[in-house]
C-alpha cells in the first residue's frame, strides 16, 4: 500500500478574527514549551521592565490562552528605526536570523501601511509609546513560535474583518479602518455582522507575513492544537484564534491560487504581489524554515503604528467605539 507524502503544516483559523495577541497566544498554547520559549526570548531583548504574562481565559466555556506584555518601566516614543535597532541587537541564541529578518519585514510593512494611509513620510511614522513594545513582542514572538513549530508550510483560513464603525483621533471610520484595509489587500477576507472590528492591523500584518495560502483546514492528521484569546475576547462578540499543527497530505493543499509573497528590492521594504503558490521562490519575505530552523519549506512574507501626532490612538487598539480584538 502506497502512503501519501505528508508536509508538516501550521494552519491558522481566523474565522473569528485575528489580532497580534490572539495569534501569539494561540501559537504559544499549541507548542508544549511555547510559553517558556517566548518568555526567554522576550527577556533576551534587553528591554528594561518588559516581560510577558501567560494565563488562561475562558471564552464561551472554552479554555484559551492569553499572553499579556507587561511594562514596568516607562517606554520612550519609538520610530521604525528604533525598533529595527532593537531587533538587530537581539541575540541569535533566542532570535534566529531569519526570524529577525521576517520580523523587520513585518514592522516595515506596518509603517508603510500607515505612511500610505496618512500620506506621511515613512521616517515620520512612530509607534505609540505604549504600543511599541507590544508591537515587537507580538510580531516577532508570533514569527518565532511559528519557526519553533518546525512547520514546512503555513496556511490561513479566510480572515473575518468584522463590521460596524471605529472611532479614533482622525474621526469615525467603517470597519475595516484605513490601515487595516491597506494591510488586507491581497488577503482572503470576509465580514460578519459583529458590529465591531475583529481583525487588527497587527494581526493582519503578521498573518500576511506568515501565510502562504488561504483556505480550509488541509487534509491530514492533527498533531497539536492551540487556542488564543485577547483583551476583548470575552465581550459581546466572543473571539479566539486556533492554531493547528498537522501532517498534511500533499495534494490536499488549500487555496493554491491565493498564495501570497513579497519581492524585496534590497532596502528592506516589501512590495506585495499575488502570483499564485510560488513556494519555490526564495525572495525577500519568502523564506523557508524546516524543523530546527533549517531551510526547506516555511513561507514568510506586521503591529499597528501611528502618524507623528503624539496623541493619535492605534486603530484596533483602544478605540472609542465598539471593538473586538486589541493588538
CA distances from 187 to 200, 281, 301, 322 (A): 14, 19, 12, 24
Per the omega criterion (within 30 degrees of 0), is the bond before 176 cis?
A: yes
Query: Do strands 271-273 and 261-263 pair parallel, antiparallel, or not at all (unpaired)?
Result: antiparallel
Residue of higher predicted confidence among 25 and 132:
25
Per-residue model confidence (pLDDT) at position 42: 96
- Sign of torsion over alpha carbons 273, 277, 282, 286: positive
Average pLDDT over residues 2-20: 92
* CB 306 within 8 Å of CB 128: yes
Average pLDDT along the chain: 79
Phi, psi of 155 (to 5 degrees): -125, 145
Looking at residue 125, its pLDDT comes to 81
| φ and ψ of 156, to 5 deg | -120, 150
> What is the mean predicted confidence (pLDDT) over 248-257?
65
Contact 230, 19 (CB under 8 A): yes
Model confidence at 130: pLDDT above 50: no
Strand pairing report for 165-168 and 159-160: unpaired
Query: What pLDDT was estimated at residue 127?
Result: 74
Residue 293 DSSP symbol: G
Who has greater pLDDT, 324 or 285? Answer: 324
What distances in angstroms separate CA 73 from CA 51, 127, 140, 154, 269, one per listed residue? 11, 17, 21, 36, 31
pLDDT tens-digit series, residues 179-207: 999 999 999 999 999 999 999 988 999 99
End-to-end CA distance of the chain: 48
**pLDDT at res. 223:** 98
Encode pLDDT of 58-110 as tens digits.
999 999 999 999 988 888 888 888 889 999 999 999 999 999 999 998 888 88
Highest-confidence range of 124-138, 253-267, 278-292, by mean pLDDT? 124-138
Positive or negative torsion for Cα 12, 62, 133, 304: positive
Asked if 86 and 40 touch (Cβ cutoff 8 Å), the reply is no
Measured CA to CA, the distance from residue 180 to residue 162 in angstroms comes to 11
User: Is 27 in contact with 145 (CB distance < 8 Å)?
Assistant: yes
- φ/ψ of 122, rounded to 5, equals -55, -40
Q: What is the DSSP string of 83-95?
A: HHHHHHHS-TTTS
Q: What is the mean pLDDT of residues 8-31?
A: 97
Please report the pLDDT score of residue 261 as a whole number. 39
For residue 1, the model assigns a pLDDT of: 54
**Scanning the structure block, which residue is given the C-alpha cell 510580531?**
139
Q: Output the furthest CA–CA distance in the chain (Å, rounded).
A: 65
What percentage of the chain exceeds 90 in pLDDT?
55
Q: Strand, coil or helix: what is 253?
A: coil
**Which range among 68-77, 122-131, 287-296, 304-313 has the greatest average pLDDT?**
68-77
* Residue 23 half-sphere exposure toward CB, CA atoms < 13 A: 41
pTM over 0.85: no
pLDDT of 131: 66
Give the model's pLDDT for residue 302.
31
Could you tell me which residues are beta bridge partners of residue 53? 68
Of the candidates 60, 56, 187, the one whose C-alpha atom is nearest the C-alpha of residue 113 is: 187
If DSSP codes are grouped into helix, strand and coil, which group holds residue 287?
coil
The 10s digit of each residue's pLDDT in 101-129 is: 999 988 888 889 989 998 888 888 877 64
pLDDT of residue 325: 57
Amino acid at each position: 500500500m502506497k502512503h501519501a507524502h505528508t508536509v508538516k503544516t501550521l494552519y491558522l483559523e481566523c474565522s473569528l478574527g485575528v489580532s497580534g495577541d490572539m495569534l501569539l497566544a494561540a501559537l504559544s498554547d499549541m507548542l508544549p514549551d511555547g510559553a517558556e520559549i517566548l518568555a526567554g526570548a522576550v527577556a533576551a531583548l534587553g528591554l528594561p521592565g518588559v516581560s510577558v504574562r501567560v494565563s488562561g481565559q475562558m471564552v464561551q466555556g472554552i479554555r484559551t490562552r492569553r499572553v499579556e506584555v507587561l511594562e514596568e518601566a516607562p517606554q520612550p516614543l519609538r520610530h521604525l528605526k528604533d525598533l529595527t535597532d532593537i531587533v538587530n541587537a537581539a541575540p541569535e541564541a533566542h532570535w534566529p536570523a531569519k526570524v529577525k529578518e521576517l520580523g523587520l519585514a513585518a514592522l516595515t510593512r506596518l509603517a508603510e501601511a500607515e505612511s500610505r494611509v496618512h500620506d506621511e513620510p515613512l521616517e515620520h511614522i512612530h509607534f505609540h509609546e505604549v504600543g511599541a513594545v507590544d508591537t515587537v513582542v507580538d510580531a516577532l514572538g508570533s514569527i518565532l513560535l511559528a519557526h519553533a513549530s518546525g512547520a514546512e508550510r503555513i496556511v490561513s483560513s479566510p480572515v473575518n474583518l468584522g463590521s460596524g464603525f471605529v472611532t479614533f483621533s482622525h474621526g469615525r471610520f467603517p470597519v475595516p479602518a484605513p490601515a487595516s484595509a491597506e494591510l488586507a489587500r491581497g488577503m482572503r477576507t470576509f465580514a460578519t455582522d459583529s458590529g465591531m472590528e475583529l481583525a487588527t492591523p497587527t494581526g493582519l500584518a503578521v498573518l500576511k507575513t506568515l501565510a502562504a495560502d488561504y483556505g480550509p483546514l488541509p487534509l491530514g492528521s492533527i498533531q497539536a492544537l492551540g487556542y488564543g484569546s485577547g483583551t476583548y475576547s470575552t465581550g459581546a462578540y466572543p473571539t479566539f484564534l486556533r492554531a493547528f499543527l498537522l501532517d498534511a497530505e500533499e495534494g490536499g493543499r488549500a487555496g493554491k491560487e491565493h498564495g501570497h509573497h513579497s519581492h524585496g528590492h534590497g532596502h528592506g521594504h516589501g512590495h506585495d504581489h499575488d502570483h499564485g503558490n510560488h513556494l519555490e521562490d526564495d525572495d525577500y519575505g519568502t523564506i523557508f524554515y524546516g524543523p530546527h530552523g533549517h531551510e526547506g519549506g516555511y513561507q514568510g512574507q506586521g503591529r499597528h503604528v501611528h502618524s507623528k501626532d503624539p496623541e493619535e490612538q492605534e486603530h484596533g487598539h483602544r478605540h472609542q467605539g465598539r471593538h473586538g480584538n486589541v493588538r
